[in-house]
A and B are shown apart, each in its own frame.
Chain A
Amino acid sequence: MIRDLHNKLISKEITAVQLAEEYFARIQKKDKDIFAYLSLAKKSALDQAKKVDEKIGKGEEIGMLEGIPGAIKDNMCMAETRTTASSKILDNYIAPYDAAAVKNLKDAGAVILGKTNMDEFAMGSSTESSAYGPTKNPIDKERVPGGSSGGSAAAVAGDMAVWALGSDTGGSIRQPAAFCGVVGLKPTYGRVSRYGLISMASSLDQIGPIAKTVEDAAIVLSEISGHDVMDATSAKSSGKRYENYLTGEIKGLKIGLVREYIESLKAEAKELMEKAVEDFKKMGAEIKEVELAYAKYSLPVYYIIMPCEVSSNLARFDGIKYGMRADNYQDTGIDFETEDRSLLETYLDSRRYGFGTEVKKRIMLGTYALSSGYYDAYYLRAQKVRTLIKKDFEKAFDEVDLILAPTTPTPAFRIGEKTEDPLEMYLSDIFTVTANIAGIPAISIPCGTIKEGGKDLPFGLQLMAKWFDEENLLRAAHAYETYSR
């Protein structure tokens, strides 16, 4: 899609300003019902589009992403725009700088339309925990778009952005991509700088693209990846343009299959996965069963490591440095005029009224697990099991190039369906969270639909690859996408 639009721009069939205006018009028309966007950056978007048109007018060459409109998840800083992470505690936060990924996209000439809704601080799988209200799935508005990057996935699926950035800590790019019928890529841990991404769980967080096609995701990845001195965990740049590896050819590629994953699915989902396996065979891939003995512990490992890191990362929201201070906030019911509140009370009140329930819960879980006497039993043990899971993958990748799995157990669930039982919500990440624990790259691509309540709901297929092997991952995803169309 990006390539087509790029060609239309250079052949002067359309202008970048027309393209941006068209997307703003669609947002105005459709987003009342979907609520993918929290805020729009109309002026800077149109200014950037004008610059691109001037370049084209002067006969200068433009990059692939130049003038192409997209969206940024609201947990990434974009200078001089409101960046809330969908939390009340950051309601008035105007980012003083660009996140590295945002800066890279700006340097590439991309047009940024606005910031997208998400679960508060990326904690959730449905975008229902946003302090500003839930995003609806464009395929079926009674259903969730997934989460936490639900706004980004809905914007792309609803044709309100060509591409979008999401962040993925336990499946937050891939699960919403699967629920909305689009492509979502979580790169290898460290591939994309996390500078300017509002931290959730630092050893798991990774920024990646959501797009309509695998090629589009590859183009965005080429622009955002690379080393950054501001993120010590970012990896050396590969210097690769990932879109150049999409040959359509996967003959001889070895793809591993975890039988239990497919067996655990309901009939319709199982059928789709089995068909995908047959398709890969027909394309010339070699399918081999692999065993991941410790992968079943990924979700409990995640629910220890993640809250521990959350409790530490979110300690910075104290009502002192930036963000909401309860004393300045009307809705608390406290009379700050007459009551003299201590510093401790400012902390307690700001965090009480600034954070939502899920965020508080995860901070407290982490605080408990890291508190005196519990560290060895929880965090340290989880990090050891993490080693065993990593070894599982090292062993599997000795035998195969990629691993094929479903992205989620089911298609999109209904709004409100899983908010009562938090554990049930957590289980929707069961197939995605493993890649974060192991740090490997993984992609979700559409693999058919399942009929539920009269609607054809998208179902996603997931491919996982070795550390830093985004080339093979994208090549196989692209080949499947072409073949299955």
Chain B
Amino acid sequence: MISKDEVKHIAGLARIGLSEKDINKFSKDLSAVLDWVKELQEVDVSNVEPTAQIIGTENVIREDKAREFPDKNKIADLFPDKKDGFGKVKSIL
């Protein structure tokens, strides 16, 4: 069972603000899924390598060269807050 405090902790790590109602709901819902996936604990995985890349592609490299994006203004237009064409972030100090 995922307690309400654990839900708050996870939500903090995930940077998601939650209401009291959400906390109750997620405590229940997260527990249900985690209980269900417990089934995997019965599988013997000793000496089994994990799979991250299913078609076996290994390190893909290319020249480390910057490429111009065709229209940078279209990216700048998307900044929720900007100054002099730059994206603006709130001060953290």
Which A positions have Cβ atoms within 8 angstroms of B?
Answer: 80, 93-94, 96-97, 188-190, 203, 229, 232-233, 235, 294, 297, 300-301, 303-304, 311, 315, 318-325, 327-328, 341-349, 351-352, 355, 357, 360-361, 363-365, 367-368, 371, 377-378, 380-388, 390, 422-423, 437-439, 467-468
Expressed in whole angstroms, the minimum distance between the Cβ of A186 and any Cβ of chain B is 13
Q: Which of B16, B22, B39, B71 has the most CB of A within 10 A?
A: B16
* Residues on A with beta carbons closer than 8 Å to the beta carbon of B10: 364, 367-368, 371
The distance in angstroms between the C-alpha atoms of A379 and B26, with both chains bound, is 20
**B40 and A322 form a contact (CB under 8 A):** no
B66, CB-defined interface residue at 8 Å: no
The distance in angstroms between the C-alpha atoms of A109 and B48, with both chains bound, is 47
Interface 0/1 of B7-45, CB less than 8 Å to A = 100110111111000100110011011101101110101
Expressed in whole angstroms, the minimum distance between the Cβ of B59 and any Cβ of chain A is 9
The distance in angstroms between the C-alpha atoms of A99 and B44, with both chains bound, is 41
**B26 and A364 form a contact (CB under 8 A):** yes
**B37 and A232 form a contact (CB under 8 A):** no
- Given A297-B39, A318-B15, A367-B13, answer yes or no on A388-B45 (Cβ-Cβ < 8 Å): yes
**B57 and A232 form a contact (CB under 8 A):** yes
Show 6 residue pairs from A and B whose CB-CB distance is below 8 angstroms, ordered by the A residue. A190-B55, A190-B57, A315-B15, A347-B15, A361-B30, A390-B54
- Given A328-B80, A351-B17, answer yes or no on A364-B11 (Cβ-Cβ < 8 Å): yes
User: Which residue in chain A gives the minimum CB-CB distance to B62?
Assistant: A229
A-B pairs, 7 with minimum CB distance: A439-B54, A352-B17, A383-B50, A348-B17, A96-B74, A325-B80, A322-B78
Which residue in A327, A371, A384 is a CB contact (below 8 Å) of B50? A384
* Residues on A with beta carbons closer than 8 Å to the beta carbon of B87: 320-321
* Residues on B with beta carbons closer than 8 Å to the beta carbon of A387: 48-51
- Given A301-B40, A361-B30, A423-B36, answer yes or no on A321-B52 (Cβ-Cβ < 8 Å): no
Expressed in whole angstroms, the minimum distance between the Cβ of A94 and any Cβ of chain B is 7
* Residues on B with beta carbons closer than 8 Å to the beta carbon of A327: 80-81
**B30 and A343 form a contact (CB under 8 A):** no
**B43 and A361 form a contact (CB under 8 A):** no
**A343 and B79 form a contact (CB under 8 A):** no
The distance in angstroms between the C-alpha atoms of A25 and B10, with both chains bound, is 48
The secondary structure that dominates the A interface is: helix
* Residues on B with beta carbons closer than 8 Å to the beta carbon of A422: 29, 32-33
Which B positions have Cβ atoms within 8 angstroms of A?
Answer: 2, 6-7, 10-11, 13-18, 22, 25-26, 29-30, 32-34, 36-37, 39-41, 43, 45, 48-55, 57, 60, 62, 69-71, 74-75, 77-81, 87, 89-92
The secondary structure that dominates the B interface is: loop
The distance in angstroms between the C-alpha atoms of A351 and B10, with both chains bound, is 14
**B37 and A304 form a contact (CB under 8 A):** yes
Expressed in whole angstroms, the minimum distance between the Cβ of B78 and any Cβ of chain A is 4
User: Which residue in chain B gives the minimum CB-CB distance to A317?
Assistant: B15
Expressed in whole angstroms, the minimum distance between the Cβ of A361 and any Cβ of chain B is 6
**B80 and A319 form a contact (CB under 8 A):** yes
The distance in angstroms between the C-alpha atoms of A383 and B45, with both chains bound, is 10
- Given A297-B40, A301-B40, answer yes or no on A361-B29 (Cβ-Cβ < 8 Å): yes
The distance in angstroms between the C-alpha atoms of A111 and B10, with both chains bound, is 45
The distance in angstroms between the C-alpha atoms of A386 and B49, with both chains bound, is 9
- Given A96-B75, A388-B43, answer yes or no on A351-B16 (Cβ-Cβ < 8 Å): yes
The distance in angstroms between the C-alpha atoms of A400 and B17, with both chains bound, is 51
Expressed in whole angstroms, the minimum distance between the Cβ of A456 and any Cβ of chain B is 34
Which residue in B2, B40, B78 is a CB contact (below 8 Å) of A93? B78
- Given A322-B80, A325-B80, answer yes or no on A294-B43 (Cβ-Cβ < 8 Å): yes
User: Which residue in chain A gives the minimum CB-CB distance to B78?
Assistant: A322
* Residues on A with beta carbons closer than 8 Å to the beta carbon of B53: 203, 233
* Residues on B with beta carbons closer than 8 Å to the beta carbon of A343: 89-92
* Residues on B with beta carbons closer than 8 Å to the beta carbon of A349: 17
The distance in angstroms between the C-alpha atoms of A350 and B55, with both chains bound, is 37
The distance in angstroms between the C-alpha atoms of A342 and B80, with both chains bound, is 15
* Residues on A with beta carbons closer than 8 Å to the beta carbon of B26: 360-361, 364
